[in-house]
Amino acid sequence: MTAALLLAACARPFVSPLAPPPHREDIAAGYDVTWAAIVRALAKENVALRAIARDSGVIATDDFIAPIGVYADCGRIGDDLLEGEALVAFTLFAEPNGAHTKVQINAKMRTHMHRKGGSGKLRPAPVYQCASTGRFEANLLDTVRDFVKE
C-alpha cells in the first residue's frame, strides 16, 4: 500500500483546458442565403455531415480526425502538452433574425490517439476531453461571409 501511495504521489496531474462558450455570430444576410452559404462552406472543408435539417436550422457533423492543437486543445499532463489526434464534431444552429441570421457553433472533442509531449508512441487510452481552439469556427464563418457576398 505504501508503494502505491508513493507512485500516486509522483504521478503528474492531467490539466484539462478550459472549455470556451459556444461560438456565436450574426451574419448580415437572410436565413436562406446564409443557410446555403453554410452548406457550401462545410462542403468546401470536406466535412462529413451526420444530420442536416433546414427547417429547424441544425447541422451536425460526423466525427473527424484533426491534429491536436489545430482545432482541439487537449490540455497537458504535468508540464507536457498532449500531442497526436483528436476526434472533433460540431453542431451548427442557424436562426433567422430579420435581415440577419444568428449562427451558433457547439464543439465536442476528445483525444483519439495521443502521447505526452514528443515522447512515446501514440495510444488510444485513456481518452481525454478537449476544448475548441476556435480556429474551425472562425474559418468556417469567414468562408460563410465570403459566400454570402457573392
Tell me the domain boundaries of the chain.
15-149
CA–CA gap between residue 12 and residue 10 (Å, rounded):
6
**How is residue 69 annotated by DSSP?**
T
Q: Which amino acid belongs to residue 134?
A: G
- For the chain, give the percent of residues with pLDDT over 70: 88
pLDDT digits (tens, 9 = 90+) for 49-81: 999 999 999 999 999 999 999 999 999 888 889
- The pLDDT value given to residue 8: 47
CA–CA gap between residue 77 and residue 54 (Å, rounded):
42
92's CB contacts (< 8 A; 6+ apart) are 38, 58, 59, 60, 103, 104, 105, 106
CATH of 15-149 given 3.30.530.50, 3.65.10.10, 3.40.50.720, 3.40.1180.10: 3.30.530.50
Give the three cell numbers for residue 70: 489545430
pTM: 0.85
Average pLDDT over residues 111-120: 89
For the ranges 6-15, 17-26, 112-121, the lowest mean pLDDT is seen at 6-15
